[in-house]
Structure 1
Amino acid sequence: MKKVLVCVSILGSVAAIAQEKDSVNAKNIDEVIVTGYLTKDSQSANKMPLKDIENPQVYNTVNKNVIKEQVVTNFNDALKNVTGISRLWESTGRGNDGGEYYSMRGFSLQPNLVNGMPAFNNGTLDPAGIEVIEAIKGPSGTLYGGSVISYGGLLNVITKKPYHYFGGEVGYVTGTYGLNRVTADVNAPVAKNMFARVNAAYQKQNSFQDAGYSESIYVNPSLKFIANDKLTFYINTEIKKSDAANAPMIFLSRYSPLSFNSIDLFEQNYKKSYTSNDLNIKNSTFNIQAQAQYKISDNWTSSTILSRGNTKTDGYYQYLWDSSNGNEFTRFITKAYGETNTTGIQQNFVGNFNIGSVKNKLLFGLDYLQREFLLGGTGWTGFGTISLINQADTSFQNLNKAAVDNALAGTNQEINTMTAQIYSAYVSDVVNILPNLSAMLSLRLDHFTGNPTAYATEKSEPTTTLSPKLGLVYQPIKDKVSVFANYMNGFQNVEPQLVQFTDQTGNVTGQEVRYFTPEQANQWEVGTKASLIKDKLSVTASYYDIKVKNKLMGTGPDLSQGGEVESKGFEISVVGSPIEGLNVIAGFSSNDSKVVAGDDTYVGYRPEEAGPRNIFNFWTNYKIQQGVLRNVGIGFGANSASELYTLNRAGVGTFAIPSYAVFNAALSYNAEKYSVIMKLDNIANKKYFTGWSTVTPQRLRTLSLSLNYKF
């Protein structure tokens, strides 16, 4: 068997990798091996081919090699390699927004993009089908609109695509808390110029607490068909079904003065789940994308994408609400049903042309998105209380389906359907003013109709929004060092509010529906990028300032748009392989975020969605190159965060979740056809928490063993 070994530390984008493989005569090659950490020159970051060093926007990536080496079995662990991101909420599984919440650059976000198209998920994402995770920083409304982005950035998952020869890999992971995970990745030619790939995973694991589990099955079939030398079709499908018993969120009271002043009581109850395995919730996800790539000419290409997505929730969702007495929480529970359907159509044209001696790279795109939320299930009921001091739970003996169904029998939930339609057009031009000086000029026109959120009781008035983006890049050393600046815009449509008027005795005298203009976020940023040591090491550093305006403030007749938030900070990322056998990922971010205008409850305070002020991530792995220990790898990493204000407002108080540092290590043996990896996470068995007006214990020490075989 003839083999080609590509031992580089820099991986191209998925499209670039495919082109590189296709450029070699596939008939003469049985296997191509690509190794490394770096994923550079992402096409999806700006929807056009653009080198990272000439891109005026910051993004971090995590590729499949990192995921495998770190024995990543969940999406959150993969994101621990991204500079400046932290998880606020674990997946609740609830309808329409039950996926995990993260914070980036001071704003909350969810992973709602797959291959650049909207793809909502009420559960968690499985890493088995991931080629690359892109964390694109800053308010990216110009290219992605306002429906799936956060002002701090967005998360885009790029899935694995078929290649031109037979190959694959099977894997098994076992570990602490009953972890069992089986994966398969099989690729094969199925006809002339047609190639298929299937990634699949089954996983079952118990919680580190006294109850709780998760079980899932994931299948990701994809197809590539080369119609001719100009036209190629791709079809990508993701199917996931999961069943979980999640620990309820523990909410501190948002409206009464805090009765807790330290984390001690929560540490004493660290392993208490306050649930039972009988109260489960099921989530299913189906996404399909069909793409046609057409080479119009040597300088122009067309990309047409159709997508359809469906995610469902069915089961028990519960939370614990602070009783404001420094001890007790009340359990509230519902049997939830929710469904989200999305339809997306996107057409992009990318071309290169000259105006005189000035080179231009132009993107023109059209985008349509229809999003439908369905809310159903039962109503809510209170179901007992728990005490942190004596660890009593008045509902514990009845935490089963029969008792909960009986309590919910008299409740009602009105079935609601909320629909939104968004029509957009955008253009972006990268102008090479000089060989080492370029400017990006971009603009989006966005027309919105319908309900902005799943909970909006009224439809918005039709709204048309303009979103600009400007960038400037200067390369003092061509293709090695760049200095950049950008101005970026993001926006979100605001749902109408029903305002009631009352007299002095409190009687309602009238009401009206008030409509609002979209929130606007504007960022300016300056920074530098460097490709060092013969392109083996990438360094990015930047300072940003994001201002958000038009946020709702006040209540009742005083409700208006006058709130403002400012989030600014510094980030530095280092990724690559500076010497043979050594891989490094490191990042540090510092964020200063506060409400600068609006409701006095929040003005001057750091927003609770902003996450920790300082975040540090580090991972390094060294593979021994020679001698009897050749192919043995040793890895070590750390993740740390400063204290987090999970509750922070006037009249209520501030509750700080303590800072933490968690250390991880790995030992591996990597042969040509197989690998064995042992990973120890949270070596010191550290108790630490996250939250967003909540207090959520994180996973304790875990040991995982990964066995993989390539064919």
Structure 2
Amino acid sequence: MRNFCFLLALLFSVGVVAQTSTISGKIANNQQQALAGVNVVINSQNIGAQTREDGTFLLERVPVGNYKVTVTYLGYKTKELNVEVFNGSNQNLGSIVLYEGNEILNEVIIKSERRNKFSRKQTAYVAKLPLKDLENTQVYSTVTNELLESQVVTNFDDALKNATGVEQLWTSTGRGGDGAGYFSLRGFSVQPQLVNGLPGLTNGTINPANIERIEVLKGPSATLFGNAVSSYGGLINVVTKKPYVGTGGQISYTAGSYGFNQVVADVNSALSEKDNIYFRVNTAYTSQQSFQDAGFSKSFFVAPSLSYKVNNKLSFSFYAEITQAEQTNPMFLFLNRSAPTESQDLNELNYNNKLSFTSNDLTLENPNQNYRFETDYKLSDSWKSQTLLSRSNTSTKGYYTYLIDYGTLGDDTFSRFLSKQNSNTQTTDIQQNFIGDFKLGSLRNRMVIGLDYFTAKETDNSSKFAFYGNVTPEGLSNGDNPLTLDVVEDVFSPLSTSGVDSVLENQPINNATSKYETYSFYVSDVVNITKQLSAMVGVRLDHFNNDGDILVEDDNYDQTTLSPKVGLVYQPIEEQLSVFANYQNGFTNVAPKLVGDPDQGAQTLKTFDPEQANQMEFGVKTNLFTNRLNATISYYDIKVKDRVITDPNSLFNKIQGGEVESRGVEIELNANPIKGLNIRAGYSYNDSETTKSDNLEILNKRPLEAGPESLYHAWANYELTNGKFKGLGFGAGINGASERFAINYVSTGEFILPSYTIANASIYYQAKKYSLSLKLNNAFNKEYYKGWTTISPQTPRTLLAKVAYKF
């Protein structure tokens, strides 16, 4: 009887197995080069695989039936195949060709595993072309959504800690005009002002709920992006989540130290499968208190997006990000910029960093909207048209305060000044791109030809700043105004809206509206000279028209600039190793200056050429062991010239002779040595110096915006992929920086913020429908500071707990 049951079970198992089949094939690009890591998925069965190094794939245990097989690869157009599976057969689909296309619309999220989860080395934004990292002469860091998920990242500042060579100078202040956070990159300050390759301004902090990845482009990037959204050190591009084919989503709740609460929802659905219309919405509510005695922030964020594929030639997409945020602005200690601070370091300063020196009554509101619309039309097999429109509207309303040491009151006294903010910034950007992939003779060309119109208008109706008492770093206070000679002990009420309003009611109100616009033409071409050698050549013609204050004609000016870039890439091991070199250019428009001795008559306006930055860079990129090891090693040298300075031969004349040099090394590593283990690490060293200037205060010194000389970070994440505890994962990592100058002028001397190393760790469990996570930031409760002429204490140890449900 036992043998009979065993035989019956065996026959039943064979019958079941016989009801499944396999699907195989090979995937290549239109140059017949095999593509590794391509996602091949049957969504309805949750069956998927990735292509091997030779481009082949195998889908196993596919039940009998009719299926739609989806083939996706970042930077290539998605392909869908209808396949009928018969009992016990192997359906060989033969050779499947993918054509390079615009990822902005065609990017599809697939549930199958990507081997190196912390690396995403293809993008259509960096070069405005679908280009692999090994083919790109420019260096960029990519921070993936998978990395952010593994670290339970809840804010944008923490997300950027994963980008090699990026360090926060100060967090978002929320103030009008430039209230977003500042970061140092290759020796220069930069703000995140690019979303999906288009301007996306904000006066607050970017919400991470809608981030698919962050791309940090290194070095001057004006040739393709102009100077409105980039700096000489590079630019920060946020790539948002987009609609995909299918239905699903996730809801999560995160709670943590200092009253942190965050609810996030991500929902994707078809509005019409027949018409290929898909809709996705990401939304989040976040509230948090400060580790100090006062301070909080709260925000509501919603990001709807829509994609509509009319046919194989025409498609549309729309994205929006709408934020309503309120916060107390962070209270930095601004050091004296013209005389030595009494204390030369933090130990002497006796700073009680648990004091906020503010009140929860004094808040700033930062409503912000970004809208983007895109149309793609296939003109031919070689060319397509891409039309892009973006609009941004960001405002600041409420109370902004700061503390500054004037050096006249003694005892390290910092004076408080405050203003009632009321400002608004609006931007519009229109781009028309023609993107081609064609051959001239035997040479393959991938080219983008573009027209770009950008305009920005800023209105400021804020009050002038008023004095509101003094404080010392240990918490004492007095009311002696540092800007008056008499010692007068003014009595100020507590920091409340009524008390502040009574002081501000007599302050004048600004009435300033400024506007500028830029007209640009650019072209960039990647030419495959041989199969392994390619060159990138690009140029931008940029015409800048500044209206300044629209009520004042004397501040109007315009300038025209030519911005080139050239790069070479050689792949000694094709698709695995490349050696590159580049020359890149950036520029800044310079306003006219008044010159001439006023004692000898009226001064006149003198115009100047735009200030220029030129970078030379070379290095190595790898994609080894079938995407298990991605590394970039580079050396760069950026020279800024033509800064306006005082003529050494005439105090009443201005000339262009100021220079700054910034050089350094960057190393970034993304590795997947064994299944389930992902490692990301980076190190950067930067040496910056003002080499020519009329300002002896800064000559031959490191610019304060350059931040620390050395930065390093590492994060390792291991997840069990088999066995009883499948889905259990652990993560650990560090972030660190060398010491930095908070102040470093001849007259002030040095105030150095010490170096730091911060440790973080996580543990999580992922099931099919839900996940649980714990994250410990600043595990050893390190006291550390950042700053840019400022002292800004960083958050102590925090614990976060997250639960998520997937559907």
Coarse TM-score class (shorter-chain normalised): over 0.9
Map of 2:335 onto structure 1: 252
Could you report, residue by residue, the CA deviation over 1:536-593 in whole angstroms, capped at 9, with x for unpaired residues? 2210000000000122324972443221000000000001322100011100000000
Map of 1:4 onto structure 2: 47
Counterpart check, 1:178 vs 2:259: yes
- Is the Cα contact below 8 Å between 2:446 and 2:527 reproduced in 1? yes
Map of 2:423 onto structure 1: 338
Counterpart check, 1:119 vs 2:215: no
Q: Which moved more, 1:458-467 or 1:569-578?
A: 458-467
Mapping 1:533-544, distance limit 5 Å: 533-544=625-636
Q: 1:583 to 1:31 in 2, by over 3 A?
A: closer
Q: 1:494 to 1:6 in 2, by over 3 A?
A: farther
CA distance in 2, matches of 1:24, 1:63: 29
Could you report, residue by residue, the CA deviation over 1:342-364 in whole angstroms, capped at 9, with x for unpaired residues? 11100111112222212211111
Could you report, residue by residue, the CA deviation over 1:1-52 in whole angstroms, capped at 9, with x for unpaired residues? 5213457999xxx994496765356999997345422111111000001110
Map of 2:619 onto structure 1: 527
Map of 1:23 onto structure 2: 80
Counterpart check, 1:619 vs 2:711: no
The letter of the residue matching 1:105 is: R
Map of 2:128 onto structure 1: 47
Counterpart of 1:264 (choices 332, 347, 361) is 347
CA distance in 1, matches of 2:437, 2:243: 28
Map of 1:156 onto structure 2: 237
How far did 1:67 drift? 1.4
- Is the Cα contact below 8 Å between 2:176 and 2:395 reproduced in 1? yes
CA distance in 2, matches of 1:322, 1:85: 28
Map of 2:643 onto structure 1: 551
Q: Which moved more, 1:1-10 or 1:156-165?
A: 1-10
CA distance in 2, matches of 1:27, 1:332: 73
Q: 1:298 to 1:417 in 2, by over 3 A?
A: same
Q: 1:165 to 1:82 in 2, by over 3 A?
A: same
The letter of the residue matching 1:110 is: Q
The letter of the residue matching 1:518 is: P
The letter of the residue matching 1:566 is: E
Counterpart of 1:447 (choices 533, 543, 555) is 543
DSSP-derived class of the 1:557 partner: coil
Q: 1:553 to 1:278 in 2, by over 3 A?
A: same
Mapping 1:135-146, distance limit 5 Å: 135-146=216-227
How far did 1:597 drift? 0.2
Map of 2:111 onto structure 1: 32
CA distance in 2, matches of 1:455, 1:144: 30
Q: 1:557 to 1:483 in 2, by over 3 A?
A: same
Q: Which runs of 5+ in 2 are unaligned?
A: 1-43, 54-70, 86-107, 480-490
Counterpart of 2:670 (choices 575, 578, 582) is 575
Mapping 1:291-690, distance limit 5 Å: 291-324=374-407, 325-389=410-474, 391-392=476-477, 397-451=493-547, 459-498=555-594, 501=597, 510-554=602-646, 557-598=652-693, 599-690=695-786
DSSP-derived class of the 2:529 partner: strand
How far did 1:247 drift? 2.7
Q: Which has the higher contact order (CA 8 A, sep 6+)?
A: 1
How far did 1:497 drift? 3.8
CA distance in 1, matches of 2:229, 2:568: 26
Counterpart of 1:69 (choices 139, 150, 160) is 150
CA distance in 1, matches of 2:628, 2:549: 44
Q: 1:164 to 1:19 in 2, by over 3 A?
A: farther
CA distance in 2, matches of 1:654, 1:453: 37
Map of 2:67 onto structure 1: none
CA distance in 2, matches of 1:532, 1:228: 38
Tell me the TM-score normalized by structure 1. Answer: 0.95
CA distance in 2, matches of 1:33, 1:351: 31
Q: 1:478 to 1:338 in 2, by over 3 A?
A: same
CA distance in 1, matches of 2:239, 2:345: 41
- Is the Cα contact below 8 Å between 1:8 and 1:34 reproduced in 2? no
CA distance in 2, matches of 1:342, 1:15: 34
CA distance in 1, matches of 2:509, 2:646: 29
Q: 1:316 to 1:363 in 2, by over 3 A?
A: same
- Is the Cα contact below 8 Å between 1:366 and 1:425 reproduced in 2? yes
How far did 1:226 drift? 0.7
Q: 1:629 to 1:649 in 2, by over 3 A?
A: same
CA distance in 2, matches of 1:651, 1:186: 57
Could you report, residue by residue, the CA deviation over 1:291-348 in whole angstroms, capped at 9, with x for unpaired residues? 0111111111211101111000001111101132351000010001111101110011
Counterpart check, 1:276 vs 2:359: yes
DSSP-derived class of the 2:366 partner: strand
CA distance in 2, matches of 1:448, 1:148: 14
CA distance in 1, matches of 2:547, 2:461: 17
Could you report, residue by residue, the CA deviation over 1:521-540 in whole angstroms, capped at 9, with x for unpaired residues? 00000000011121122100
Query: Percent identity between the aligned chains?
Result: 45
CA distance in 2, matches of 1:451, 1:669: 57
CA distance in 2, matches of 1:447, 1:110: 23
How far did 1:462 drift? 1.6
Map of 1:169 onto structure 2: 250
Q: 1:375 to 1:631 in 2, by over 3 A?
A: same
CA distance in 2, matches of 1:562, 1:27: 72
DSSP-derived class of the 2:111 partner: strand
CA distance in 2, matches of 1:184, 1:672: 17
CA distance in 2, matches of 1:453, 1:575: 48
CA distance in 1, matches of 2:672, 2:722: 17
The letter of the residue matching 1:427 is: V
- Is the Cα contact below 8 Å between 2:294 and 2:359 reproduced in 1? yes
CA distance in 2, matches of 1:523, 1:435: 27
Q: Which moved more, 1:259-268 or 1:688-697?
A: 259-268
CA distance in 1, matches of 2:84, 2:802: 33
Q: Which moved more, 1:277-286 or 1:27-36?
A: 27-36
How far did 1:502 drift? 5.4
- Is the Cα contact below 8 Å between 1:456 and 1:496 reproduced in 2? no
CA distance in 1, matches of 2:597, 2:321: 49
Q: Which moved more, 1:213-222 or 1:19-28?
A: 19-28
Q: CA RMSD in A?
A: 2.5
How far did 1:499 drift? 5.7
Q: 1:578 to 1:467 in 2, by over 3 A?
A: same
CA distance in 1, matches of 2:142, 2:396: 30
How far did 1:125 drift? 0.1
The letter of the residue matching 2:132 is: K
Q: Which moved more, 1:684-693 or 1:244-253?
A: 244-253
- Is the Cα contact below 8 Å between 1:524 and 1:545 reproduced in 2? yes
- Is the Cα contact below 8 Å between 2:316 and 2:375 reproduced in 1? yes
The letter of the residue matching 2:413 is: E
Tell me the TM-score normalized by structure 2. Answer: 0.84
DSSP-derived class of the 2:675 partner: coil
Map of 1:231 onto structure 2: 314
How far did 1:68 drift? 1.4
